[in-house]
């Protein structure tokens, strides 16, 4: 990394935000593509998602190295320190979103050529809510919008409710058709549902980290 790019603290923060935005775009695209691959049985797209994970891991490493350099060079205090540390935590959330996208893409590969035991109705609804949560959580971060962070945090219950509904439906299917194929598919469908639920959790984490960065308080204490 060129030292001239970190000639002052504000430039360093700008570069950190650019890297986080790039990482967010890549992680969200991986998630959306993984769902598209699942809904369209597109194995080629699933492979693209899996192969993109290394790029996102590299971006996370770049964010971490930038944070360490900022801490060493500028030694920020109080709210400035929170701002830098939270950036690294958010990068961790974004990297795990990409990991969940890979999990979904791998399910696409497993289901290739198989007749689904359950139509994909609830899961795409979950994915749409989680996508919206991710988009708004990062907007709350970049715009430093505490109220938006609160709104996103409260939506998480909707994803949890659908996740439980999917699990209940799968349980009923297994009771009726307890074959090896049904059980194997059931495991994968549950995996997708849980992956989306965890992505929504990472969106709420970003909201919590944003609020703590700005106010030095826990988000749930403000509700």
* pLDDT tens sequence across 140-164: 999 999 999 999 999 999 999 999 9
Q: What is the mean pLDDT of the chain?
A: 94
Looking at residue 133, its pLDDT comes to: 98
Distance CA 57, CA 99 (A): 9
Looking at residue 2, its pLDDT comes to: 44
**pLDDT per residue as tens digits for the range 78-117:** 888 999 999 999 999 999 999 999 999 999 999 999 999 9
In this predicted model, which residue has the larger pLDDT, 9 or 53?
A: 53
What is the tally of helices (H) and strands (E) in the chain? 6, 0
Q: What is the mean pLDDT of residues 186-191?
A: 97
Q: What is the mean pLDDT of residues 75-79?
A: 88
Q: How far is CA 222 from CA 9, 85, 131, 173, in A?
A: 30, 21, 24, 42
Looking at residue 127, its pLDDT comes to: 98
Distance CA 126, CA 148 (A): 20
Question: Which domains, from first to last, does the chain contain?
Answer: 3-222 (1.20.58.220)
Q: What is the mean pLDDT of residues 215-219?
A: 94
Looking at residue 5, its pLDDT comes to: 55
Looking at residue 6, its pLDDT comes to: 59
In this prediction the pTM is: 0.94
Distance CA 211, CA 205 (A): 10
Looking at residue 79, its pLDDT comes to: 86
């Amino acid at each position: 990394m060129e030292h001239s790019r970190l000639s002052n603290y504000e430039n360093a923060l700008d570069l950190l935000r650019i890297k986080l935005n790039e990482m967010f775009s890549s992680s969200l695209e991986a998630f959306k593509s993984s769902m598209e691959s699942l809904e369209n049985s597109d194995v080629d797209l699933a492979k693209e998602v899996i192969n993109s994970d290394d790029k996102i891991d590299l971006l996370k490493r770049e964010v971490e190295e930038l944070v360490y350099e900022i801490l060493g060079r500028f030694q920020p205090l109080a709210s400035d320190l929170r701002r830098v540390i939270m950036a690294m935590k958010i990068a961790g959330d974004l990297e795990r979103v990409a990991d969940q996208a890979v999990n979904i893409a791998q399910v696409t590969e497993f289901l290739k050529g198989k007749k689904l035991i359950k139509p994909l109705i609830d899961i795409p609804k979950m994915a749409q809510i989680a996508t919206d949560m991710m988009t708004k959580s990062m907007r709350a971060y970049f715009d430093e919008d505490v109220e938006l962070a609160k709104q996103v945090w409260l939506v998480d219950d909707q994803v949890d409710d659908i996740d439980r509904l999917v699990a209940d439906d799968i349980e009923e299917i297994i009771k009726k058709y307890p074959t090896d194929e049904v059980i194997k598919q059931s495991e994968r469908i549950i995996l997708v549902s849980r992956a989306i639920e965890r992505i929504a959790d990472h969106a709420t984490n970003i909201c919590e980290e944003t609020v703590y960065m700005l106010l030095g308080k826990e988000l749930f204490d403000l509700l």
